[in-house]
Chains A and B, each alone.
Chain A
Amino acid sequence: MERRKKRAHMVGIISILFLAFVVTYGASPALTAEPIRIGFMAPMKGPLAKPGEDLLNGFKLFWKQNGLEVGGRTVKILYADSACNPDTAMTQARRLIHAEKVDLIIGGLCGHVGPALAQVSRETGVPVLVMPGADELTKWDIVPTFVRLSVSASQIGHPMGDYLYNVLGARNVTFIGQDYAWGHGLTLGAAKTFKEAGGKVAKILWTPIGTADYGPLLASIPTDTDWVVANVVGADRLRLFNAWFNFGYDRKYKIAGGYWLHSDALFQLDDKAVDLIAQCNIYSAGLDTPENKAFVKAFIKEYKTVPSWMAEAAYTMGLFVKETIEALNGKLDDKMAFVDTILKVKVNAPRGPVSLDKYHNPIQNVYISKVEKVNDPVLGEIMINVPIKTYKNVSQFWTWNPKDFLAGGPYKR
C-alpha cells in the first residue's frame, strides 16, 4: 500500500517535470526571435593588451561589414575582459554563461586562459572557440565542445624546420625558444622536422617570457652555429631585435624569425629589419589574394594600422560563426550540433582556405614571410610582412599519421 502511494507520487512528479519540459521546449521556437548571444573575451589590460585590442578590432570589423544578423536572428555580442588571468577568465566565462545566457564564447589568447576556458566548457557544455594556444587541447585533451580556430603551436613550428633545411640550407641551428607550453610547441616542432630532414640542432636557448635583457643570453650561442632561429613573444621580440644588432651578432650569425617580427612589432623597427625572415605563420598581411587585399584595405581604413595575425584570426572567427549559424538556420539549442556543424564548415578567409580536422584544429596554409618596405596609400611608407613561401593545407600533424604522432606524446622539454 505504502509502496503504491510512493509510486503514485513518483509518477505525479515525473509527469509534472515532463509537462514543464514540454512547455519550455514547446515555447522555444518562439524564442528564436531572441538575439543570438555571443560572449567575446580578450585581454584588455596587462602585457597582452595590444593583441587583445587587435582581436577585438578584427572581430568588430567582421560584424560591421556583415551586419549583426545571421540565420534570421540578430546577434548580440557581450564583451568581457580576461585580464590575462585564468581566474578572471573562468569567472567571466561563468558569468557570461549563467548570467548573460550566451550561446557560445569566443576568447582566449594568453596561454593559460585557453585551458581555463576549456575547463568551463567542459563544466557547462557551452561551446568555446579559442584563438591560438598550446597543442594539448586539440590533441590529447580534447573537450567535445571546445574548438580552436586559429593555430596550435607546433602547426607553425613544423614547416619552419623544413624551410630551414631545404630552402635556407641551414645545417647547424641554434633556437631561441620561450619556456612555456606555446613556446615548446613552436620550437620543438621546428627542431623535430629540422632534425628529420638531416639538420643538427646546435643548442636550444630557453628563456622565460619577459626576459628583460637578451644581451647575456646571446653570448651562449655556440660559435659553430650557422643559423639562429628566434621564437619569442610579446615585449621580448623587440628586446631580442635590439640586443641582436647592438651586440653585433648580425655580423656573426644569420637569424631567421620562426615566430618573431609580427606586423604589430614592425612599426618600431628600423631599416635593419628589412629583408629579415620575420615569421612562419598562418597569416601575413602582404598576402596577395583578393580576400586578403579587401580585408587589409578595410582594416587600415577603419583602424589606421596594418592588421596583425591576431586581427585576422578574430575576423575569421566571425566568418566561421556566421557560416555555422547559417547552416543551422539560427538554431543554437543543441550545442553538440553546433560543434558538429562548425567542424564541417569551410571558409575562404583572408589568410586562405580554412577547414577543421576531427581533432578540432584548423587545416590551413602556412606562410614564411620576410619584412619589406612598401608604400601604403593611407599609412605612407610602412614595413609589412610578405610571404616568400607557402606551405599549403598544413595539418597540425604535419605529414605524419595522427595516430603515430599522438602516440609520441606532447612536445615537452
Chain B
Amino acid sequence: MVLRKWPLLFCAVAAALFAPLYLGPFWLSLLMQILIFGLLALSVELLLGHIGLFSVCQAAFFAVSAYTVAILQVKYGQPTIVAVPAGLGAAIILSLIYGIAVRTSGVYFILVTIALGHVFWGISWTWVSFTNGEGGITNVPAPAVGSLTITSHSSYYYIVLAVVALCVVGYRTLTRSPFGLTLRGIRESESRMRGLGYNIAAHKYTAFVLAGTLSGIAGLLYIYFNRFVSPANAEFFLSIEVALMVLVGGTGTILGPFIGSAIMLGLRNYVSAYIDQWMIVMGLIFIITMLWTPDGVLGVIRRLGVWGRTSHNQPGHRTPTPEEGK
C-alpha cells in the first residue's frame, strides 16, 4: 500500500505545482476555490471525524477573518501584514466565544451551531455601517508585503497551495499526536475517557477552537482570492454545503474533504450552467450521499477494493481506519 501511495502522491504534487501552466484561467480559479473550500471542509472534518461533533457554523469563522481583512484593508487602509494576523485573530476570538457550544452534544450541538452561525450572518447583514450589509465589501487590494504585490491569479495560486499544504501537514501531525488520539477516544466513549482522567470539556473546546482557526485560514485565502466578501460567505447554507463536501469525499481522511469540495464546486458551477433545475440535482446529491454512499467517494473506492479494506460505517460513527490507528 505504501508503495502504491508514493508515486500517486508524487504525481499529485507535480500536477499541482504545474497547474497554472496547463490550466486555463477559469479552471485555475476553480482549482483555487476547491483548495480553499477543501480547507474549510477539513475544519468540519476535524470535529466530525475525530470527535463526532457536527458543526454547522464553520462559515462564521471563515467569514469573520475575511471580513476583518476586508474592513482593515479597505476602510482603514491597513497593510496586508497587519490585516492577516488580525483576521486570524478574529477567527480565533470568535471560536473562543462560540466554543460555549461544546457544552452541548449530539443534536443540540447541531442546532446551537446553526443558531450561532446565523447570529454572525445576522451581524454581517444588518450592521450596515460597519460591514456594508448585503452589498459586502469590494476592492480588497492584492496581498502585498513591502514592495512585493501579488496581483496575478497564477502567482497567488502558489500561495494558496503552500498554505493549504502547510495546514494539511499540521493537521496530520495534530491528529496523530496524543491529543488527536484522545479526541478519537472521546468520540468512541466519553465516559471511559473521563474515567481515565481526561478533561473532556477542555479537549472538545480546544478542538473547536482549532477547527475555527482552520476555517479562519481558509477565509484569509479566500478574501485575497476573491477580493470581495459579503454575507453570503457566512450563510447557513455554506456551512451545510461544506459539511456535505466532507461526506461526499469521505470522512476519516485528509483527502476526502478536498475531493468533496471538487465534486460539489464542480457540480454547482457547471450543472447550473446547463440545467435549470440545478437545485434538484443538488438535493439529489445530498440524498444519495446520505443513503447510499455514507462513507463518500473514498469509501466507494475502498469498497471496490482499489484501496484495500472495506468499511461500511456511518459517517460520524466511524471506527478509525488502520492508517490512523498506528
Contact = CB atoms under 8 A, between A and B. Distances in A.
Given A179-B126, A180-B128, A111 B276 contact: no
A81 B279 CA distance: 11
B33 A86 contact: no
B136 interface: yes
Contacts of A141: 138-139
Interface string A91-134: 11011011100000000001110011011000000000000001
The winner among A91, A118, A181 for most chain B CB atoms within 10 A is A91
Nearest to B126: A208
Nearest to A110: B134
Contacts of A45: 279
A95 B26 contact: yes
A134 B132 CA distance: 11
A90 B228 contact: yes
B197 to A, nearest CB: 46
Contacts of B279: 45
A90 B140 CA distance: 15
Interface string B25-37: 1110110010000
A85 interface: yes
Contacts of A92: 269, 272-273
Interface string B254-288: 00000000000100111011001011000000000
A98 B28 CA distance: 10
Contact of A181 (B125, B134, B268): B134
B276 to A, nearest CB: 7
B133 interface: yes
Interface in B14-65: 24-27, 29-30, 33
B159 to A, nearest CB: 17
A88 interface: yes
B251 interface: no
Contact of B230 (A86, A91, A184): A86
A56 B245 CA distance: 32
A75 interface: no
A180 B138 contact: no
B170 interface: no
Contacts, number: 92
Contacts of B126: 179, 208
A119 B25 contact: no
B138 A90 contact: no
Interface in A366-386: none
Interface in A235-254: none
Interface in A158-187: 179-182, 184
Contacts of B289: none
A87 B227 contact: no
Chain A contact-residue range equals: 35 or more
Interface residues of B, number: 34
Contact of A94 (B25, B135, B138): B25
Given A83-B272, A91-B30, A179 B228 contact: no
Contact of A81 (B228, B231, B272): B272
A115 B138 contact: yes
Interface in A298-330: none
A88 B269 contact: yes
A180 B25 contact: no
B30 A119 contact: no
A112 B136 contact: yes
Given A45-B279, A98-B26, A112 B268 contact: no
B116 interface: no
A44 B276 contact: yes
B135 A115 contact: yes
Contact of B135 (A90, A111, A119, A208): A111
Given A91-B29, A118-B138, A179-B126, A112 B272 contact: no
Given A94-B25, A115-B136, A141-B138, A208 B129 contact: no
B128 A413 contact: yes
B76 to A, nearest CB: 16
A180 B228 CA distance: 17
A135 to B, nearest CB: 10
A80 B231 CA distance: 21
A119 B269 contact: no
Contacts of B129: 412-413
B226 interface: yes
A116 B230 contact: yes
Interface string A212-225: 00000000000000
A181 B24 contact: no
Nearest to A97: B26
A384 to B, nearest CB: 30
A110 B265 CA distance: 22
B190 to A, nearest CB: 37
B233 interface: yes
B138 A91 contact: no
Nearest to B140: A119
Contacts of A276: none
B232 A181 contact: no
Contact of B226 (A90, A97, A134, A182): A90
A246 B26 CA distance: 52
Interface string A268-303: 000000000000000000000000000000000000
20 contacts: A81-B278, A86-B230, A88-B269, A91-B269, A92-B269, A92-B273, A95-B26, A98-B27, A99-B27, A112-B231, A119-B138, A119-B139, A119-B227, A179-B126, A180-B133, A181-B128, A181-B134, A182-B135, A208-B126, A413-B128
Q: Lowest 3 A-B CB distances belong to which pairs?
A: A98-B26, A181-B135, A115-B138
Interface of A: 44-45, 80-81, 83, 85-88, 90-92, 94-95, 97-99, 110-112, 115-116, 118-119, 134, 141, 179-182, 184, 208-209, 412-413
